[in-house]
Amino acid sequence: MLANRHILLVIAGGIAAFKSLDLIRRLRERGASVTPVLTRAAEEFVTPLSASALAANRVYRDLFDLTDEAEMGHIELSRAADLVVVAPATADLMAKAAQGHADDLASTLLMATDKRVLLAPAMNVRMWEHPATQRNVATLRKDGTLIAGPENGPMACGEFGPGRMAEVPQILEAIEGALGGTGPLTGKHVVVTSGPTHEPIDPVRYIANRSSGAQGAAIGAALAAQGADVTFVTGPAEVAPPHGVKVVPIETAQEMHEAVFDALPADVGVFAAAVADWRVAHGSEQKIKKDHRGNAPTLAFAENPDILAAVSQMTEGRPRLVIGFAAETEDVVTQATAKRVRKGCDWIVANDVSRAGGAMGGADNSVTVIDAEGAEPWPRMPKTEVAAKLVARIAGALA
Ligand code: C5P
């Protein structure tokens, strides 16, 4: 899958840098070529010689090294690659990238590249959770940067929590997803919605639903594995978004609507999110206080935009294939068939979310795929298999 692909691997200064040496080996085993770039701080953790020996390539070390510039300028270096990977990505390098600084070779490459950038963050849990880092992560994601990890677990500094760099197999998976490979969906842009939405009542309360985001995440991963360029618009889901996709995190239905239209044009739209049909009409700026005389508040609702219907009914620039989901608790196929026509989508994936159906939050799903030709019931299977089968059907329809 990575044969003849060229990775520019920026190694920043963190204890996880030792894993990057293994990453170089695994990339080469898969046929990729690697050009390592070491920041000055990285050289405190790994030597240029070991990176160079494993990559069987020269290592670039500093922007102001005249020999480097004479041999290959930073612009060329950043563009000769198919993908730029930063592993480990430190809090400092992420801050620079988010702000657009270019004061050393690593940050200049990130500014100059015209290729996708994948970051594998690694830092102390408090640094990861710091609002500044979270702001930078959100900015980078918005700019289209891919982020793999970090993982939860014990850290070199003795603390526990998110911040450990993703393991090498996960980074490889993200790299394969980002490069898209040569799957049948290479070059196709797919917008996927996933997870629940949160509709605020006041600053501390919201209305949500039981969607875990598992089916949407599995679809996003399966699409990326087949080469698609995926924009993954997700509400606050329990399940982490897949690697190798562009993640756009949102909270409300209105934000999801805006994010989907911002992401268009697309070849395919897959609307797997459980979007709230209504929002609270007059959300309160202040926390609603308990009334000690026992009067419960009354909430008024306003209808949310129907994203699936809006995209399905576009008169210009409509995706070739628009797929909706229908969570039903009774008469699943009849209801979903009517819904397909009402919304105007091409296919609808119907599932039984009654207690007996158990689709919401569970690992398995039993769906019926409905199109203009009729209804095709699929046997009960894991959500990952539903995703793979659906993606194969999508590839077939576009072929
Ligand atoms: O009408 P209902 O919510 O049952 O339709 C489900 C389908 O419509 C799902 O594909 C869901 O993602 C989509 N939907 C949407 N925007 C809404 C409501 C539902 O995209 N506001």
pLDDT in tens, 288-304: 888 878 888 889 999 99
The reply to whether omega before 131 is within 30° of 0 (cis) is no
Q: What angle do CA 343, 345, 350 make, to 5 degrees?
A: 85
pLDDT recorded at residue 292: 79
Length reported for the chain: 399
* Single pTM value for the model: 0.67
**Residue 34: exposure state from Cβ atoms within 10 A (0-12, 13-18, ≥19):** buried
Find the range with the poorest average confidence among 92-101, 284-293, 382-391: 284-293
Is pLDDT of 66 > 70? no
Question: Does residue 85 have a pLDDT over 80?
Answer: yes
| Residue in 3, 138, 157, 363 annotated catalytic | 157
Output the CA–CA distances (angstroms, integers) from residue 274 to 97, 216, 326, in the order listed.
34, 10, 9
Specify the pLDDT at position 358.
56
User: If you measure from the C-alpha of residue 335 to the centroid of ligand 1, how many angstroms do you get, rounded to a whole number?
Assistant: 13
Q: What are phi and psi of 352, to 5 degrees?
A: -90, 115
Average pLDDT, the chain: 90
Ligand 1 pocket test, pick from 191, 198, 257, 325 with the greatest ligand atom count within 8 Å of Cβ, gives 325
> How confident is residue 160, by pLDDT bands cut at 50, 70 and 90?
confident
Q: Which amino acid is at 281?
A: A
- CA 255 vs. chain centroid, Å, equals 17
Mutate to test the pocket of ligand 1, among 194, 304, 307 (most ligand atoms within 8 A of CB): 307
Is the model's pLDDT at 356 over the cut of 70? no
Decide: residue 158, CB within 10 A, 0-12 exposed, 13-18 middle, 19+ buried: exposed
Quick check: helix, strand or coil at residue 101? coil
Give the model's confidence band at 63: pLDDT under 50 very low, under 70 low, under 90 confident, else very high: low
* Whether pLDDT at 267 is above 80: yes
What is the structure's pLDDT at 68? 58
Q: Higher-confidence residue: 187 or 326?
A: 326
User: 293 CA to middle of ligand 1, Å?
Assistant: 39
Whose alpha carbon is nearest atom 2 of ligand 1?
326
Q: How confident is the model at residue 119 (pLDDT cuts 50, 70, 90)?
A: very high
* Active site (annotated) includes residue 157: yes
Which residues, judged by CB distance below 6 Å to any ligand atom, belong to the binding site of ligand 1?
A: 193, 253, 271, 273, 275, 277, 304-308, 324-326
Mean pLDDT in residue range 18-36: 95
